[in-house]
């Protein structure tokens, strides 16, 4: 049996996950140290800057947030970090977004000084065992799990949980059952415990 205990004060929030009478997880968030990284917003494109290949997004904060073309999710990923010889440059920002458009975005860098938060349209929700990637159509296994046999076992387990399409690939049926990435902690998890976070990360 699993319970979640929450203690809230104006100064901090404490959350404990209890399983079979023992504390499994403890999270403490202090108000003065609270950041925005990981938060997901429905933002509105306030301005598109073709010269900078970026856009300013209104997400309800004091300053508009910043979205660079490299952080726009296109064709299964973003262009950030993809600098290989066969890398295809992303389309121009003005072809991807327009003023007044509503976008689902996630904060990847907190605001600092006079600069607003930095955003990405590639959404990821990290759990204890899994990382939920609602826009991707693949199943990934953490490279930190070194055993090839264990990696294949985890891949088979995740495929069974997610399901497969007619062409043999994962079911691209977001938001109900999207592919995920298994984290290192998943190596010792049971199928039942893997299934629980998979359900928790499903968008409704």
Describe the crossing of helices 191-200 and 148-162 by its angle, rounded to 10 degrees: 50
Contact (Cβ atoms closer than 8 angstroms) between residue 23 and residue 17:
yes
Residue 4 pLDDT greater than 90, yes or no: yes
| pLDDT above 70 (res 141) | yes
Higher pLDDT among residues 170 and 66, named by residue: 66
> Residue 137: what pLDDT?
76
pLDDT average, residue stretch 10-30: 90
Stronger pLDDT, 85 or 148, i.e. the higher one: 148
Domain definitions of the chain by residue range: 2-33, 40-120, 125-200
Return the CA Rg of the chain.
Answer: 19
Check if the beta carbon of residue 108 is closer than 8 Å to that of residue 40: no
Tens of pLDDT, residues 57-83: 999 999 999 999 999 988 655 556 555
Give the class (CATH, top level) of 40-120.
mainly beta
| Sign of the CA dihedral running 77, 82, 86, 92 | positive
CATH of 125-200, one of 3.40.50.300, 3.30.230.10, 3.40.50.1110, 3.30.200.20: 3.30.230.10
Q: What is the pLDDT of residues 25-36, one digit of tens each?
A: 898 888 777 789
Sign of the alpha-carbon dihedral angle for 177, 181, 187, 189:
negative
pTM: 0.65
């Amino acid at each position: 049996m699993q319970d979640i205990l929450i203690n809230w004060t104006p100064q901090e929030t404490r959350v404990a996950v209890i399983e079979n009478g023992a504390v499994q997880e403890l999270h403490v968030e202090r108000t003065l140290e609270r950041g925005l990284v990981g938060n997901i917003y429905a933002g509105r494109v306030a301005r598109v800057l073709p010269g900078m290949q970026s856009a300013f997004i209104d997400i309800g904060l004091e300053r508009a947030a910043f979205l660079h073309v490299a952080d726009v999710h296109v064709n299964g990923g973003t262009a950030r970090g993809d600098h290989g010889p066969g890398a295809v440059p992303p389309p121009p920002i003005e072809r991807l977004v327009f003023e007044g458009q509503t976008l689902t975005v996630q904060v990847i860098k907190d605001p600092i000084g006079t600069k607003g938060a930095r955003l990405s349209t590639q959404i990821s929700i990290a759990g204890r065992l899994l990382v939920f990637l609602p826009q991707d159509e693949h199943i990934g296994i953490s490279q930190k799990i070194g055993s090839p046999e264990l990696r294949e076992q985890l891949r088979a387990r995740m495929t069974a949980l997610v399901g497969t399409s007619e062409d043999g690939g994962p079911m691209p049926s977001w938001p109900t059952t999207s592919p995920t990435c298994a984290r290192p902690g998943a190596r010792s998890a049971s199928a039942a415990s893997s299934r629980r976070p998979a359900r928790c990360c499903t968008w409704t």
